Amino acid sequence: NHTADRPYPPHRRQKALLVAASSGWENYRHQADVYNMYRILRSEGYAAEDIIVVAEDDIARNDRNPEPGVVRVETDGPNVYEGLHIDYRPSQISSSDISDILCGRSSERLPRVVEADSTTNVLLFWSGHGSPYQLRWLDTHDGWRTGMARQCFEDLHAARGYRKLLCLFETCYSGSVA
């Protein structure tokens, strides 16, 4: 057991980046799953300011939504949209901005980023479409590509930008990136 020999710094903080990389009513589940993950993290003790949400926010008030302002992941389940704050919309940022957000590189355009260090457990949850060697971004052929993800993770590791890092990808072909 190699992990028993690896000392971890003390756990002091937890941060999350939740990404719904698609838009439109036909992609309802991607945003709903991100909103549900937000609800789960909040119920598990994450502070709202420790969770960054990227979602287009175009399903809760969509003309096709039979319950305006409500998003559910299961019939008769809770409204996972309630109390949610969305920080960025995919139509207003690029897939490469995800690396800057995750690696803590803030700018005037990206004021909210994951501010983490070696005592911070970090969660990245991504829901959307995928294709070989990339997580898709909206309906474009531009996405968060394998090389971009690899460089981001190498940068995080070199900067000791996490204690433990868990990445959950809910896309087709996500195994090509994970």
Please answer whether residues 118 and 8 qualify as being in contact, where contact means their C-beta atoms are separated by less than 8 angstroms.
no
Q: Is 167 known to be catalytic? A: no
From the list 16, 32, 61, 17, the residue with the least C-alpha distance to 128 is 32
Taking the C-alpha atoms of residue 84 and residue 139, their distance in angstroms, rounded to an integer, is 24
Please tell me which residue in 30, 103, 129, 152 is annotated as part of the active site: 129
Compute the CA torsion angle 124, 56, 40, 77 (nearest 10 deg): -150
Please tell me which residue in 141, 157, 167, 172 is annotated as part of the active site: 172
Q: How many CA atoms does the CB half-sphere of 169 hold within 13 Å?
A: 19
Q: Is 129 known to be catalytic? A: yes
Residues forming beta bridges with residue 124, ordered by sequence position: 17, 167
Instruction: Write out the catalytic residue numbers.
Output: 129, 172
